């Protein structure tokens, strides 16, 4: 049974696309078949992060409007066989993203893949609404910073009210992924801590990705961090998050500067 997952945040620049690529590659590495769908019409970037920018021929809007079929638009990853990408259109208007068209594509993707990961654009407009509309579950990417937390709260409200699942009266499972976490600043008390964010947003924690130069390095290379720098702390956090998404019960470790007593003391359970 395929799972449709939306990666969303409200605020821009918190790491949605990085997370989509990294989680998708991590899931695909475990043998699951995964498709990443870019919903950021007009400002696509998932193709660039995945290193597939020169292989885009047809896109999501082309498929919606019947100019191409799904098989023509899907780009197979060259590194992991079970990973594919459906790019967004760079030139078209967001209004081309029709509800019926998106519903049809998601239904088709559900039959072909184990995981359909929808990379939401920033904001709460049409693109973001379409990305979350058919989701079975959501990953909310949040930075430990006031504006990001506020926007995440707003997005959580939308997930619980406007999605198909919410309208059917069901509960949308939501997972918090805290990214760009800086252990040093958290320790000095100048960055919102994990417990602060969890208390405010009150959704279960999927993982904590530390701020890391490896993420930038990976995007320079056009590869998800879980492929480009698999041994980095950030990749480790994403790999663990992927396993949690598959139902494994692994404790979340809060990143610390020095490994030791603190590491052992602050362990969180993912719900």
Partner 1 sequence: MSFLSNLFNKRSSAPIARDRLQILLAHERMSVDGDNQDDLLAKLHREIMEVIKRHISVDQDKVQIKMDRGAQCSVLEIDVEVPGLTDRLSKKD
The site for partner 1 (CB under 8 A) is made up of 145-146, 149-150, 153-154, 157, 161, 186, 188-193, 196, 199-200
CB nearer to partner 1: give 189 or 247: 189
CB nearer to partner 1: give 41 or 203: 203
Q: Cβ(121)–Cβ(8) under 8 Å?
A: no
CB of 255 to partner 1, least distance (A): 16
The side-by-side arrangement of strands in the sheet containing 137-142 is 75-76, 83-86, 34-38, 115-119, 3-8, 137-142, 174-181, 205-210
CB nearer to partner 1: give 50 or 186: 186
Find all residues with CB under 8 Å of 90, minimum gap 6, and list them. 42, 43, 44, 59
**How many whole angstroms separate alpha carbon 23 and alpha carbon 238?**
6
CA neighbor of 32 nearest in space, from 103, 84, 102, 86: 84
| DSSP, res 240 | H
CB of 192 to partner 1, least distance (A): 5
CB nearer to partner 1: give 26 or 178: 178
CB of 123 to partner 1, least distance (A): 15
**How many whole angstroms separate alpha carbon 225 and alpha carbon 116?**
19
CB nearer to partner 1: give 56 or 138: 138
CB nearer to partner 1: give 31 or 157: 157
CB of 129 to partner 1, least distance (A): 15
CB of 199 to partner 1, least distance (A): 8
CB nearer to partner 1: give 62 or 152: 152
CB of 69 to partner 1, least distance (A): 40
Render 115-179 in DSSP notation, one character per residue.
EEEEEPPSSSSHHHHHHHHT-SEEEEEE-SSHHHHHHHHHHHHHHTTTSHHHHTTPPPPEEEEEE
CB of 182 to partner 1, least distance (A): 12
- Widest CA span of the chain, in angstroms? 59
Q: Cβ(207)–Cβ(270) under 8 Å?
A: yes
């Amino acid at each position: 049974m395929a799972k449709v997952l939306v990666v969303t945040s409200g605020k821009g620049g918190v790491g949605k696309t990085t997370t989509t690529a990294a989680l998708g590659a991590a899931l695909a590495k475990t043998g699951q078949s995964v498709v990443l769908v870019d919903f950021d019409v007009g400002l696509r970037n998932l193709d660039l992060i995945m290193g597939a920018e020169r292989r885009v021929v047809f896109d999501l809007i082309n498929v919606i409007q019947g100019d191409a079929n799904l098989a023509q638009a899907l780009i197979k990853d060259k590194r992991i066989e079970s990973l594919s990408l459906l790019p967004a259109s760079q030139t078209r208007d967001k209004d081309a993203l029709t509800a019926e068209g998106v519903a049809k594509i998601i239904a088709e993707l559900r039959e072909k893949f184990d995981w359909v990961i929808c990379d939401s654009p920033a904001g709460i407009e049409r693109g973001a609404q379409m990305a979350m509309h058919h989701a079975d579950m959501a990953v909310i990417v949040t930075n430990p910073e006031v504006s990001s937390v506020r926007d995440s709260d707003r997005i959580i409200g939308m997930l619980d009210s406007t999605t198909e699942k919410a309208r059917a009266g069901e509960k949308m499972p939501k997972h918090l992924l805290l990214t760009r976490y800086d252990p040093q600043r958290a320790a000095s008390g100048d960055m919102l801590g994990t417990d602060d964010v969890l208390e405010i947003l009150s959704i279960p924690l999927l993982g904590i990705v530390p701020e890391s130069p490896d993420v930038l390095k990976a995007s320079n290379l056009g590869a998800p961090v879980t492929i480009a720098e698999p041994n980095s702390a950030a990749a480790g956090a994403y790999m663990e998050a992927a396993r949690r998404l598959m139902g494994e019960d692994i404790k979340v470790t809060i990143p610390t500067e020095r490994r030791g007593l603190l590491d052992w003391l602050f362990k969180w359970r993912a719900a």
